[in-house]
Structure 1
Amino acid sequence: YSKRHTKSHTLCRRCGNRAFHRQHKTCAQCGYPSAKLRSYEWGQKAKRRKTTGTGRMRHLKDVSRRFKNGFRENTVARKRTKTTTEA
């Protein structure tokens, strides 16, 4: 039935999807080898799938906690003495 038996897209080394066009030498998913990631305003759902928060956020999880404390560094917490409740 089918005439074609070759693959036009292969794995992309940046996003890992099978969207790298072998002849065009560009990824249909992320736009590799372009420096910036491929995203368009007409693809709101696609942007939602790829945006910050869909991955591990190894660094950003830490930043929010440090922001809450005012990005303090090189300080040691004060010793807390036990308070005795005398009634």
Structure 2
Amino acid sequence: MTNLSVCVNVTQGKGTGSFGKRRNKTHTLCVRCGRRSFHLQKSRCSACAFPAARKRKYNWSVKAIRRKTTGTGRMRYLRHVPRRFKSGFREGTEAAPRKKGAAASA
């Protein structure tokens, strides 16, 4: 009979053997930007810098700014502002009824 000995690596590296130990999350969802970038121990979002008042933005990443800028979302308030600006932000008035003859002659 031959005695076979298996060599087991005792030291723990960063590779395949260590991935089984990774079962706790460092980041969770951010309430401001909605990304999974809020660091739980630091209490800081790595995407938008929440809870800082100013949003995180760097000019070395122009494409990232383009993705997050005004106009990429719904703009629920801002999309109506140009139309309201034309009338001087007038409110509470109603348009006069259009005359029937003007529509037929055109």
Q: Which amino acid aligns with 2:92?
A: N
- Give unpaired runs (5+ residues) of structure 1: none
Q: Which amino acid aligns with 1:36?
A: R
- Give unpaired runs (5+ residues) of structure 2: 1-15
Q: What do you get for the CA RMSD once the two structures are aligned?
A: 2.2
2:100 is paired with a residue whose SS is coil
Superposed, 1:1-87 pairs within 5 Å as 1-3=16-18, 4-5=21-22, 6-83=24-101
Q: TM-score, normalised by structure 1?
A: 0.81
Counterparts in 2 of 1:79 and 1:38: CA distance versus 1, 3 Å: same
Name whichever structure is richer in helix by fraction. 2
Q: TM-score, normalised by structure 2?
A: 0.68
> Distance in 2 between the 1:22 and 1:59 partners?
33
In the alignment of these two chains, the number of paired residues is 86
Moved over 6 A (4+): none
1:14 is paired with a residue whose SS is coil
Flag the structure with larger Rg.
Answer: 2
Higher relative contact order (CA 8 A, sep 6+): 1
Query: Deviation digits for residues 48-82 of structure 1, max 9, x if unmatched?
Result: 11111011000011111111333222222223222
